Chains A and B, each alone.
Chain A
Amino acid sequence: MTTTNPILSVKNLSVRFRTLDGEVDAVKGINLHVNAGETVAIVGESGSGKSQTMMAAMRLLASNGVAGGEVDYRGKNLLTLDKAALNGVRGARISMIFQEPMTSLDPLYTIGNQLIEPIRRHRKLGKAAAHKEALRLLELVKIPDPERRMRSYPYEMSGGQRQRVMIAMALANDPDILIADEPTTALDVTVQAQILTLLAELQRRLGMAIVFITHDLNIVRRFSDRVYVMRSGQIVEEGETERVFAAPQHDYTKMLLAAEPTGRKAPPPASAPMLLEGRNVEVAFRIGGGFLSGPPLTLRAVDRISLSLKRGQTIGIVGESGSGKSTLGRALLRLLPSEGAIRFDHRDISGANAQAMRPLRRELQLVFQDPFGSLSPRMTIGQVITEGLLVHEPSLSAKDRDARAVAALQRVGLDPAMRNRYPHEFSGGQRQRIAIARAMILRPKVVVLDEPTSALDRSVQKQIVELLRDLQAEHELSYLFISHDLAVVRAMADYIIVMRQGQIVEQGPTEEIFDRPREDYTRALMSAAIDDKKFRLAAV
């Protein structure tokens, strides 16, 4: 299946962006090649230039970017090809799929429309023939009931299905090379496994090469033949996947491989007092309904869930997107209206209004998933961190607040001299530290951590996990750790609740859940995330 002559070779490729702060070299002269029919992974952390490499090769760079070097596809240099010839290659011979399947599909057209149009244009087929071809493609990517799906709009489909449609579109012209840019990052682990299995199977059937751009080493190991490790615009290591994983040469690769969060959290002593308790918590959203559309549909996002959090304990809440785990976390903090009893520190807070909750807010804190969205872009980080103090300790002078901000920044490992900077001047990991500092400056008792590491690179994740564990040990904090990432949950939590469709599927101490999962759903989650068998083997 694998031939040895490269069909795509990138020679001394450089990408440079002109920005306000001068020129930025995103890619600094790299060489790589793709052989026919093989799977090549380009792995690296955010900002390493892995995506820009392929964007440059496809001439899809942002308008302020300039590419240099040579990208050779079957004897043609893609960087100097004229527009018409380029379009003959791009989208037809080399196609791409992207991370976010929602934004890559036009919400105003049906799936069928979006599939048929490019087929008719590229292959000059009639309407009926193109329709048939679109159906064949949807069957190829295993979309159930393709005839009906042709008439669906993107919003009617799940993330996984949308990604399948994207793959079908990419395959429409029978490409030589499929470039997949983080195609599964936005998806749940179980769906991710399905998509990867599908890609492996399609590759086996159609014999195309796949260039897989990802930050997830787990996927690389299970999916690719060869791997290029990129760091700040350069390739630091390349080779057969097995070899790189077994015997990494470069320090950076070693660091990446060791970046899986390690350590375990010991459960709190049995005598630890109960801090936060929920009994039959229920959150229901009403959808639709009205004068003409009949009774509203009630969606139970959280369906009678009980849990109790002791001082010093970390409960990990695990589940796929839409399982209601974030909703549960917010309901327990009384940020959402809910049914059922919630007790904090032996006080019933289930009926408390915003006014009554205000003094308790300092003890109940929340850290969000997206460190880019959770910090106001118009405030300096000093202001961001001390905002809570304005509410809870209004007597503090500006100078005292500044001193507290300095201390809090130092505690989370940031340079306090940066406190007059704005959030956009920090990296994702630094921003998450800022968000943690904002919660910790109030000295809370309970912190709900809503996917605090999901948007971060592995090596940064590890640091954040360690920081959170240190803070917990220091202040006897209780965490409610919400995540879909089992590796992180394992390192953080001493008790785990597995949720699905608003209900608890399974719960128990971490070791027990990981070693002896009782439910199929839990097992599926585990195998999708932690198993290391190859997708291609599974597909054969």
Chain B
Amino acid sequence: MTDVAIAAPVAGRSFWGDAWARLKSNKAAMISLFYLALMAIVCVVGPYFVPHTYTTIYADYVRTAPSFSAYPKADMIESALRDAVKRMRVDVDEWHQDGDRVFVTVEASKPVDERSARYLDRSDTFHDTRIENKSDDGRKLTMSAAVKQQYFLFGTDNTGRDLLSRTLMAGRVSLAIGLLAGIVAVAIGVIYGATAGFIGGKTDEVMMRIVDVLYSLPFIFFVIMLVVFFGRNFVLMFLAVGAVLWLDMARIVRGQALSIRRQEYVQAAEALGVTRGGILVRHIVPNLLGVVVIYMTLLVPQVIILESFLSFLGLGVQEPMTSWGVLISTGAKNIGTANWLLLFPAFFLVSTLFALNFVGDGLRDALDPKDR
């Protein structure tokens, strides 16, 4: 027997290798795949490169429109200046801009406290305030401050937070929930469905009736119950969404398992004396995976939408943390006055869902070429 063992085995083209080759020839799916990867990277890494954090509130820049040029704009300087000066409880005597510095002379009935210069620093528009000149009676004070150049590519929201960093943070949350809840749903669904489908008979009946019962629970009611008992938190979102969506998965997988169980290769394994567990692990589950992968790519957008829906209702993630759903919900309320609040998060969400669906379609074609 030693002489025959020399024959070096030739590697075969596996089912997955085949599917990958077919997927690669599908342009829409590949572009979508790259887009998703890009989106994931941007959302994860992006917030570190945006100069604003997603929680910083710029009181001077409430609902600023998106722009490629830096803020403040010329006309905004005066109002920002007057606001700051007003807080000093003094009047503006004169102001002018010289280069990137602003010079302002204030006047009051009592001597002006030099410390009130910090009001200028507190404003989001100015920094590096210096006292230039003080009149002898102290009632006139000339200060100069540098204008802070800030970019708000996506504009800011109702409380003056940078929308770009918020959208990226929201993307992190939405993608994470989509992926994790998707995995939770798939894991539970596959194990439950495959077991029910494979064992069959009475066990299958009971297991599927349990699924039916869970199906009949109103989803929103279920989530509200969870929120009431456990308070609002991020992990709960996974649980709630995953706990509902595994039902679909379980049904699909069970149907597949039922049909795979009748395949001749399963009968052949039975005739070989393979145990039930062996058949489940070696035959049923690997043959299910194609369907599971396809369903998973369609499940992730569903989860993201569900999360958005819950957040829209105010049951989801809490401020200042955000998700695309939350952003879209606030955007929808401001559609007349600040449409960018809706447009940017909506574009991110929709394009991601689009890409996911394309990938799902591509995978279906790649995994089941007979269907075309």
Q: List the interface of chain A (C-beta within 8 A of B).
A: 20, 63, 333, 335, 357-362, 364-366, 368, 370, 373-380, 382, 387-388, 390-392, 402-403, 406-407, 410, 415-422, 424-425, 435, 438, 442
Contact status A421-B7, CB under 8 Å: no
Q: Counting CB contacts under 8 A, is B332 at the interface?
A: no
Q: Compute how far the CA of A379 lies from the CA of B283 in the bound complex, rounded to whole angstroms.
A: 8
Contact status B282-A387, CB under 8 Å: yes
Interface string of B195-230 (1 = CB under 8 A from A): 000000000000000000000000000000000000
Q: Compute how far the CA of A419 lies from the CA of B4 in the bound complex, rounded to whole angstroms.
A: 13
State the Cβ distance, B231 to closest chain A Cβ, in Å. 45
B15 partner residues in chain A, CB cutoff 8 A? 377-378, 422, 424
Residue of A nearest to B24 (CB): A20
List which B1-46 residues lie within 8 A (CB) of chain A: 1, 4-5, 7-15, 18, 21-22, 25
The verdict on A335 contacting B9 (CB below 8 Å), with A374-B264, A390-B278, A407-B4 known, is: no
State the Cβ distance, B329 to closest chain A Cβ, in Å. 44
Q: Compute how far the CA of A361 lies from the CA of B268 in the bound complex, rounded to whole angstroms.
A: 11
Q: Compute how far the CA of A370 lies from the CA of B199 in the bound complex, rounded to whole angstroms.
A: 25
State the Cβ distance, B270 to closest chain A Cβ, in Å. 6
Q: Counting CB contacts under 8 A, is B287 at the interface?
A: yes
Contact status B265-A373, CB under 8 Å: yes
Contact status B273-A362, CB under 8 Å: yes
Choose among B8, B268, B283, B286 the residue with the greatest number of A CB atoms under 10 Å from its CB: B268
Q: Compute how far the CA of A418 lies from the CA of B278 in the bound complex, rounded to whole angstroms.
A: 24
Q: Which of A359, A370, A388, A417 has a CB less than 8 Å from the CB of B9?
A: A417
Contact status B264-A391, CB under 8 Å: no
State the Cβ distance, A180 to closest chain B Cβ, in Å. 24
Contact status B272-A382, CB under 8 Å: no
B271 partner residues in chain A, CB cutoff 8 A? 333, 335, 361, 364-366
A362 partner residues in chain B, CB cutoff 8 A? 272-273
User: How many of chain B's residues touch chain A, expressed as a range?
Assistant: 35 or more
Q: Which of B22, B270, B282 has a CB less than 8 Å from the CB of A379?
A: B282
Contact status A416-B7, CB under 8 Å: yes
Q: Counting CB contacts under 8 A, is B187 at the interface?
A: no
B8 partner residues in chain A, CB cutoff 8 A? 417
Question: Which 4 pairs show the lowest CB-CB distances between chains A and B?
Answer: A361-B273, A421-B12, A374-B264, A378-B286
Q: Counting CB contacts under 8 A, is B133 at the interface?
A: no
Q: Which of B5, B12, B272, B287 has a CB less than 8 Å from the CB of A406?
A: B5
State the Cβ distance, B295 to closest chain A Cβ, in Å. 18
Q: Counting CB contacts under 8 A, is B269 at the interface?
A: yes
Q: Counting CB contacts under 8 A, is B56 at the interface?
A: no
State the Cβ distance, A405 to closest chain B Cβ, in Å. 9
Choose among B25, B264, B270 the residue with the greatest number of A CB atoms under 10 Å from its CB: B264
Q: List the interface of chain B (C-beta within 8 A of A).
A: 1, 4-5, 7-15, 18, 21-22, 25, 263-265, 267-275, 278, 282-283, 286-287, 289, 372
B263 partner residues in chain A, CB cutoff 8 A? 373
A-B contact pairs, 12 of them (CB 8 A): A374-B264, A376-B282, A378-B15, A378-B289, A387-B269, A387-B282, A388-B272, A392-B273, A417-B10, A422-B13, A424-B15, A425-B13
Interface of B (DSSP majority class): helix
Contact status B270-A435, CB under 8 Å: no
Residue of B nearest to A364 (CB): B271
State the Cβ distance, B260 to closest chain A Cβ, in Å. 9
Contact status B4-A435, CB under 8 Å: no
Q: Compute how far the CA of A360 lies from the CA of B267 in the bound complex, rounded to whole angstroms.
A: 16
A366 partner residues in chain B, CB cutoff 8 A? 267-268, 271
Contact status A373-B7, CB under 8 Å: no
Contact status A416-B273, CB under 8 Å: no
A335 partner residues in chain B, CB cutoff 8 A? 267, 270-271
Contact status B272-A387, CB under 8 Å: yes
State the Cβ distance, A178 to closest chain B Cβ, in Å. 28
State the Cβ distance, A27 to closest chain B Cβ, in Å. 22
State the Cβ distance, A138 to closest chain B Cβ, in Å. 33
Residue of A nearest to B268 (CB): A374
Q: Compute how far the CA of A410 lies from the CA of B5 in the bound complex, rounded to whole angstroms.
A: 11
B287 partner residues in chain A, CB cutoff 8 A? 376-378
Residue of B nearest to A375 (CB): B265
Contact status B278-A20, CB under 8 Å: no
A370 partner residues in chain B, CB cutoff 8 A? 264
Q: Compute how far the CA of A362 lies from the CA of B274 in the bound complex, rounded to whole angstroms.
A: 10
Contact status A419-B274, CB under 8 Å: no
The verdict on A387 contacting B274 (CB below 8 Å), with A373-B265, A374-B264 known, is: yes
State the Cβ distance, B85 to closest chain A Cβ, in Å. 73
Q: Which of B12, B268, B269 has a CB less than 8 Å from the CB of A422?
A: B12
